[in-house]
Amino acid sequence: MQHLRQLEDQSVYILREAYKHFDNLAMLWSMGKDSTVLLWLARKAFFGHVPFPLLHVDTSFKIPAMIEYRDRVAREWGLQLVVGQNKEALAAGMNSSMGRVTCCTALKTNGLKQLIEQKGYTGIILGVRADEEGTRAKERYFSPRDKHGDWDFRDQPPELWDQFKTTFPPGTHIRIHPLLDWTEINIWEYIKAENIPFIDLYLDKGEGTRYRSLGCAPCTTPIQSTAKSVDDIINELRHTTTAERSGRAQDEGRGMELLRKDGYM
């Protein structure tokens, strides 16, 4: 338990720093386990309130149950929801058969960039974790993006103790990553400890499969698993040696480094 509280304290501190320093702040919420934990941590940090909007970049290919869950939770918790979509790309027929990296770039990266530009957000809070894949392991808690939303991983700013990069030139923005130190197991342990409502696609409903990571329907495949509860998931994770995102297609080859350099989450 203590290790979860230590993680919680650090994330809460980061969220409060973000809220203090950014006038136009928003949090990305994909309805997955990580960003839902992040949302919960925001309620912790601000004593039951979420004082900034939640962004969902809708690719139109999300699993329908995710959208239902999104709207229900937003209503119940009184969230300010902002949904963005790259309508042009969709109208032009963008889908994963045109190449996964191409599709992700158009619908997610560019969808997000459009939203940031439209609304003028200067700080975006995201639920990425360092243990997900290699380039995320090298992220800072406060990570600057240039005018084009690009990440210069060769020259990241220093981050010392509890002091973060909170000042930045006009036109650029900062990505804030309060969950960097959390592992996949920590996320589930915390969901369990706090009894956080999560989407049931993560559980096996008798077919011997469940989702371990949620993305777009065409590019995310369920894994073989009979985990029917959070306890089952935690147990399963303790004994697995398969990478979490092995069900996510865009991670293949150098896909993620290229995507993230250009501003993917």
Partner 1 sequence: MTEITMKASDNLNIVIVGHVDHGKSTLLGRLYADTGSLPDGKIEKVQAICRQQGKEFEYAFLFDAFLEEQEQGITIDTARTFFAWKGRQYIIIDAPGHKEFLKNMISGAARAEGALLLIDALEGVKEQSKKHGYLLSLLGVRQFAVVVNKMDLVGYRQDVFDGIEKEYREFLGQFKAVPQQIIPVSAKLGDNIANRSEQMLWYKGPTVLDSLGAFKKEPGRSEQPLRMPVQDVYKFDARRIIAGRVTAGRVKVGDSLVFSPSNKRATVKSIEAFNVEPLPVEGHAGQTVGITLDEQIFVERGEVASHQEQLPLVSTAFRANVFWLGRKPLERGRRYQLRVATKEVDCEVAAIHRIIDTMDLAQQQGSNVVNRNQVAELTIRAKVPVAFDLSVSFEATGRFVLVDEYDIAGGGIVTELVHDDQEFLREEARQRDFAWVKGEVGVEDRAQQYGHRAAIVLVTGGRHAGKSFLAKKIEARLVADGRHAYLLDGGNLRRGLDADLSEGERGQAAEMARRYGEVARLLVDTGLIVISTTNPFGLAYSEAAQAIRTLVHPVPVIAIHMSKAPEEAPPNTDIVLSGPTDFDEATRQILEELKRRGVLAQAIGAKPTFQYSI
User: Which residues sit at the interface with partner 1, rule CB under 8 A?
Assistant: 1-7, 9, 12-13, 16-17, 19-20, 23, 43-49, 51, 130-131, 133-135, 137-138, 140, 153-154, 156-163, 165, 167-169, 180-181, 183, 185-186, 189, 192-195, 231, 234, 238, 241-243, 254, 257
Q: 14 or 55, CB closer to partner 1?
A: 14
Q: 48 or 93, CB closer to partner 1?
A: 48
Q: Is 118 exposed, middle or buried (0-12, 13-18, 19+ CB in 10 A)?
A: exposed
Least separation in angstroms between CB 155 and partner 1: 9
Q: 100 or 260, CB closer to partner 1?
A: 260
Q: 58 or 133, CB closer to partner 1?
A: 133
Least separation in angstroms between CB 97 and partner 1: 26
Q: What DSSP assignment string belongs to 58-92?
A: --S-B-HHHHHHHHHHHHHHT--EEEE--HHHHHT
Least separation in angstroms between CB 72 and partner 1: 19
Q: Kindly give, in sequence order, each residue whose CB lies less than 8 Å from that of residue 39, ignoring residues fewer than 6 positions away.
A: 27, 29, 50, 54, 77, 79
Least separation in angstroms between CB 156 and partner 1: 6
Structure-token pair, residue 132: 């997900």
How far, in Å, are 101, 133, 221, 244 from residue 248 at the CA level? 12, 11, 7, 9
